[in-house]
Amino acid sequence: MTGPRKKVAGLRPAAVPAGLRRFAASPGGGSEDPRTQRDASTGGGSLSSTSRTFALVFLLTAAVLPAQQIPTPGLDGAEPAVRQRFASLQADLRADPGNGDAWGRYGMVLEAHTFTDAAITAYRQAHRLSPRTFRWPYLLAALVDERSAADSLPLYRAALALDPDYAPARVRLAEALERTGQFDTANQEYAQAVRLDPANAHAHAGLGRLALAAGDADAAVRHLSRARDLAAENRSFAVTLAQAYARAGDRERGQQIAAAARSLGRINYRDDPIRSSVHDLALDARSYLRRANAHRVHGELDLARRELRAGIDVDASRPELHFALAEVLAAAGDPAGSLAAARRAYELHPELEGVAPFLARALFQTGDLSGALAMAEEALRLDAGDVSMMLLVALVSAERGDVARIVEVLDRAYRERPQDPPTRDGLIQLLTNVGEAMVSSGLPDAAAGHFRKALDLAEEAGSPEAAGLRRRLAQVRR
Amino acid sequence: MARNRAARVAGLVLAIAPGCSAPPDSGVAPAEAPGAGPEATPAVRFVDVTAESGIDHVLPSGTDSTYPMPAVMGGGLAVFDADGDGDLDLYVVAPAAGGNRFYVQQEDGHFTDATTAAGLEGDGMGCAVGDLDNDGDLDLYVTRVGPDRLFLNDGKGVFADRSAAWDAAVPGWSSSAALLDYDRDGYLDLYVARYVAFDPARVCSQHGGRRDFCGPTEFEGLSDILLHNLGGNGFENVSAVAGINAVEDAGLGVVAADFDHDGEVDIYVANDADPNNLWIHQGSGRFLDDGVLQGAAFNRWGNSEAGMGIAAGDADLDLDLDLFVTHLITETNTYYRNLMLPGFEDATIDTELGAASLDLTGFGTAFFDADNDGDLDLAVANGAVKRRPSALAAPGGAAAPPAFWSDYAEPNLLLFNHDGRFADASAQRPWTELGLSRALVPADLDRDGDLDLVIANLDGAPRTLRNLTIDAGAASDEPTVANWLQVRAFDPRLGREALGARITVRTPDGPRLLHALPPGSYLSAGPTAAHLGLDAAESVESFEVVWPDGLVESFDGVAANQVVELVRGEGQAE
């Protein structure tokens, strides 16, 4: 409806004198994508009737295509690695402007750095020059889809004509159909995607969404449950399933699922190697961090570490990269490396959210109590309500026998978050320990106060420790 | 009380016959003809009269090379009768220090700057307006990146800062605020949506590494605040007791209304990148966020979107409140149809509201009957928060924003309702003009019986768009087919309008639902008088009012084209 206002880069026809050679040639560049390789091998042999049709269309098209200008995005302020990559790809294109796969690769890099208009132009050119390569119309369709689902439909169909069995593309076609209100056709495409790949969670979720919108809550629960089983980390499936349960009359189950979904990440990932390969091409530091976070979600710590180190190579001044590396290294069991990375992040940005508490904990774990205490105090200066740092101060103080400090910090923590179960359990344990320390120091009256407080908390929580604390309190009072 | 007691026509009689009440010296004439026919999308219904209005203050964003996030999020607006003279005045709120301005509307329709005299200097993000001390005038609450401010009105449009005395200085980054009387004690309470724990030291960039404004996911969200009004003498923070502080999301838009018709006022909050909250009042001051199960937290796809502004209205004419939430570029704006299960469904596709917004970043929005044809249309204020993938070209460039914003500027949207499906009617000026628009308020500024629009723009003057629907009818010899009513719900016990009153109007074309509510929108406050387009109908048959305290009364119908005031206690109780 907003056709006139949308500025989608206009397509200029291209002159491709080397088009026929390109048609039969390898897509080149050492592409690791098996789909592209399969396209290429087919093109090199005897042509099927479909291929002959493509060849004819291509020859006719190529004959009338004038020169295509290479789209050059504004890179002011971009990181050097990004500028270098663009310069290199543009030089490749100038040297061989009829190379469809070179255009496609350029489009992927453009898209990876969010130069959408230019990427669309490049993909269109790639599709014209390499019309039998699946990935170019597919990537073009997915990008156009971000602006107009209706405009993406013929592109998805063109891609699927080249490879009808790539289930992620069929799911995206179904989603575009759903967005344009063609629910019956969308339903058929989702079903076809399920037949192609019974483990495709997005296809099952599509069937569930359509059922929910049609008022069939029971069918929605069935399909969405399958989607959730296949992709338990996907928050979208979980919350839609929760809603379906509520519609089906089972609010309690819906509430359980909705509550569990709170801990899931906001970003949902798809198993779509072709689309994923685009995002792998982004060379700026933030993209390295984004990819590393994606790997962390899947527990791929080595890959996450590799991305973060590459990002630091691009721009070592970004504290968030060092901090993320510290977290990954800690999870990978490298406390020394983690500590070093955390220190660097702290040097670069002492107030970076979470870095001071992380560093305090890392120092504590490596036995540097003085450092841990100082950093925990710093963290509390930045966030006076950080109960975890209060508890850390209490732990260090306990190690040092500083009872007065322990009591002071515990009181603060208790006031700050009296209802929080982990805090409460930690406090019960600490109050008990302090009580025992006071007993050992010959201060039974003071100890009784701490046991009493621990007992109150344990009773409030319904903790099994309450009985033991009650007995211990009685002993101390005696 | 007699059953046929007529609705009381307001003594102030703001409106008279269509076409004859335009300010005499406004300098504005209908510039272009209206749409061709009933089936066609009206070509032009609005004309930009900012230059003639006297509203000339460029609202400073405060942006600079550090790309401070508040500079791209601010731009608030209040349209209200501050001085009690019967016309609407204007308060604009700017993120940059000293950027706020207060304009008083004169008898001739022009606006004059009265900021200093009114005591309303300062800065902020947004505002809320209502009679907080029940003294018969409208007070002003200003949200800020830092402690909020409360200004009490002396009845003549002079305000005193009572933030400290009322414990109203909510800390942190507040965005939109909504007034509601959740405990039905007769005093308006205040819900303050809060955004994120902004850290100005955080540096953000786009994928190419170019510096840009940060987004909400760079920071922790903040819990919202519910302030209970202590008998018109101050506020008490009851967020914990109410359960509101259970979540810490990046809140931007808020609307308070009884969405499920259970007699208790609920609260809907649009969160930026976080799931929206639908706080259902459980009674006794406790709220439960039921947005997920009621289908209003996530869109159809199960995604939380970048919720900015909210419009609430009965868009499908089934007598309940639907919701429309504006979002970021590459996300559609989302229409949540109220199914009264209770619950909502994302009906963006069915209503064809998605495509128009996909390439734009929406903020302020409102359901309003732009052409007085009896159903609710939509307006959306747009402007990107990060550099657009492609800059848009301004046709003519008449209102071009400063060069800094050239990669961010976007046009606004006008969407006409045709039997529940919306058509984009933004192809001509002023809708093609580019800017960084934020707050948006529909209001009948010139009191001619159609709804004009005021839109706040970053580093630009607030744009005043005059609705030509009535003018067009008056300019021709054809009888107007754009009849209307404006309906106020007044509670004499409180000495103020009955905020939240639900009014069902029986019209020849069927029942219509109105609410005495401000527009919601984004960082906005506006009149609570409800506007009803009547198309060709020359009268309405009756009114049924559900007052906020639960009393239900009926009132007799009235002729079209006037402002009516329904007074609690003067109808027929049911």
Tell me what pLDDT residue A72 has. Answer: 85
Cβ partners under 8 Å of residue A91, min gap 6: none
Residue A34 above 70 pLDDT? no
| 8-state DSSP, B561 | S
A286 contacts B205? CB cut-off 8 A:
yes
Q: Which of residues 398-457 of A touch B (CB under 8 A)?
A: none
Query: Residue A449: which pLDDT band, with cuts at 50, 70 and 90?
Result: confident
pTM of the complete model beyond 0.80: no
Is residue B431 within 8 A of residue B329, CB to CB? The reply is no
Dihedral of alpha carbons A365, A367, A369, A375, sign: negative
The span from the CA of A61 to the CA of B362, in Å, is: 41
Reading the block at residue B305, the tokens are 């979107």
Query: Residue B1: which pLDDT band, with cuts at 50, 70 and 90?
Result: very low
The number of C-alpha atoms within 13 Å of B97 and in the hemisphere containing its C-beta is: 0
The span from the CA of A339 to the CA of A327, in Å, is: 9
**Taking CA atoms, what residue in A is nearest to B337?**
A213
B424 contacts A266? CB cut-off 8 A:
no
Residue B20 above 50 pLDDT? no
Q: Which residues of B touch A6 (CB under 8 A)?
A: 359
Q: Which of residues 248-267 of A touch B (CB under 8 A)?
A: 251, 254-255, 258, 261, 266
Reading the block at residue B415, the tokens are 């969407």
Tell me what pLDDT residue A15 has. Answer: 28
The span from the CA of A96 to the CA of A90, in Å, is: 10
Q: Which residues of A touch B300 (CB under 8 A)?
A: 209, 213
* DSSP-derived 3-state class of residue A202: helix
Cβ partners under 8 Å of residue B35, min gap 6: B41, B42, B43, B44, B45, B371
Is residue B163 within 8 A of residue B174, CB to CB? The reply is no
Is residue A97 within 8 A of residue A67, CB to CB? The reply is yes
**Taking CA atoms, what residue in B is nearest to A214?**
B345
- Residues B465-474 have a mean pLDDT of 83
The span from the CA of B470 to the CA of A332, in Å, is: 70
B95 touches chain A (CB under 8 A): no
The CA-atom distances, in angstroms, between A400 and each of A397, A434, B179 are 5, 12, 53
B72 touches chain A (CB under 8 A): no
B240 touches chain A (CB under 8 A): no
Tell me what pLDDT residue B524 has. Answer: 97
| 8-state DSSP, B400 | P
The CA-atom distances, in angstroms, between A184 and each of A28, A149, A211, A212, B213 are 40, 16, 11, 14, 42
**To 5 degrees, how large is the angle CA A229–CA A278–CA A233?**
20
- Residues B3-22 have a mean pLDDT of 34
Mean pLDDT of all residues belonging to chain A: 81
Tell me what pLDDT residue B473 has. Answer: 63
Tell me what pLDDT residue A298 has. Answer: 66
Cβ partners under 8 Å of residue A388, min gap 6: A357
ipTM of the complex: 0.89
Residue B237 above 50 pLDDT? yes
Residue B35 above 80 pLDDT? no
Query: Residue A19: which pLDDT band, with cuts at 50, 70 and 90?
Result: very low
Picking from A116, A258, A287, the nearest residue to B390 by CB comes out as A116
- Residues A128-144 have a mean pLDDT of 96
Query: Residue B476: which pLDDT band, with cuts at 50, 70 and 90?
Result: low
Is residue A28 within 8 A of residue A102, CB to CB? The reply is yes
* Helices and strands in chain B: count of H runs, count of E runs: 5, 43
Quickly tell me which residue has 């709220």 as its tokens. B287
B355 contacts A1? CB cut-off 8 A:
yes
**Taking CA atoms, what residue in B is nearest to A76?**
B210
Q: Which of residues 265-284 of B touch A (CB under 8 A)?
A: 273-275
B359 contacts A147? CB cut-off 8 A:
yes
A6 contacts B359? CB cut-off 8 A:
yes
* Phi, then psi, of B230 in degrees rounded to 5: -90, 70
Q: Which residues of A touch B293 (CB under 8 A)?
A: 242-243, 246, 251, 254-255, 258
Residues forming beta bridges with residue B255, ordered by sequence position: B268
Cβ partners under 8 Å of residue A347, min gap 6: none
Reading the block at residue A440, the tokens are 């050992």
C-beta neighbour count of A421 within 10 angstroms:
10
Dihedral, CA of residue A249, residue A251, residue A256 and residue A261, to nearest 10: 90
The span from the CA of B255 to the CA of B267, in Å, is: 6
- Residue of B211, B292, B298 to mutate for A, most A C-beta atoms under 10 A: B292
Cβ partners under 8 Å of residue A252, min gap 6: none
C-beta neighbour count of A171 within 10 angstroms:
26
Reading the block at residue B235, the tokens are 């506020």
A284 contacts B393? CB cut-off 8 A:
no
Is residue B435 within 8 A of residue B409, CB to CB? The reply is yes
Query: Residue B37: which pLDDT band, with cuts at 50, 70 and 90?
Result: very low
* DSSP-derived 3-state class of residue B443: strand
Residue A342 above 60 pLDDT? yes
Q: Which of B22-36, B421-435, B518-532 has the lowest mean pLDDT?
A: B22-36
**Taking CA atoms, what residue in B is nearest to A240?**
B302
Tell me what pLDDT residue B208 has. Answer: 64
Reading the block at residue B39, the tokens are 């089936």
Picking from B293, B304, B424, the nearest residue to A258 by CB comes out as B293
B304 contacts A113? CB cut-off 8 A:
no
| 8-state DSSP, A268 | -
Residue A209 above 80 pLDDT? yes
Size of interface A-B (CB pairs under 8 A): 136
Tell me what pLDDT residue B40 has. Answer: 44
Q: Which of residues 81-120 of A touch B (CB under 8 A)?
A: 82, 112-117
Query: Residue A315: which pLDDT band, with cuts at 50, 70 and 90?
Result: confident
- Residues A217-226 have a mean pLDDT of 98
B355 contacts A285? CB cut-off 8 A:
no
Taking the mean position of all CA atoms in its chain, how far away is CA A455? Answer: 43
Query: Residue B511: which pLDDT band, with cuts at 50, 70 and 90?
Result: very high
Dihedral of alpha carbons A121, A122, A123, A125, sign: positive
Residue A446 above 90 pLDDT? no
The span from the CA of B559 to the CA of B540, in Å, is: 6
The CA-atom distances, in angstroms, between B97 and each of B118, B145, B508 are 17, 11, 52
Reading the block at residue A353, the tokens are 């959210």
* Alpha-carbon distance B507 to nearest alpha carbon in chain A (angstroms): 32
Residues forming beta bridges with residue B440, ordered by sequence position: B455
| 8-state DSSP, B272 | B
C-alpha closest to that of B312 among B60, B518, B488: B518
H/E run at residue B343: none
Q: What is the pLDDT of residues B71-109, one digit of tens each?
A: 999 999 999 999 999 999 999 999 999 999 999 999 999
Is residue B63 within 8 A of residue B54, CB to CB? The reply is no
* Alpha-carbon distance B299 to nearest alpha carbon in chain A (angstroms): 9
| 8-state DSSP, B420 | T
- The amino acid present at B349, given as its one-letter code, is I
Question: Largest Cα–Cα distance in chain B?
Answer: 72
B293 contacts A237? CB cut-off 8 A:
no
Q: Which residues of B touch A213 (CB under 8 A)?
A: 300, 345
Q: What is the pLDDT of residues B549-559, one digit of tens each?
A: 999 999 999 99
Q: Which burial class, exposed, middle or buried, applies to B496 when counting CB atoms under 10 A from its CB (0-12, 13-18, 19+)?
A: buried
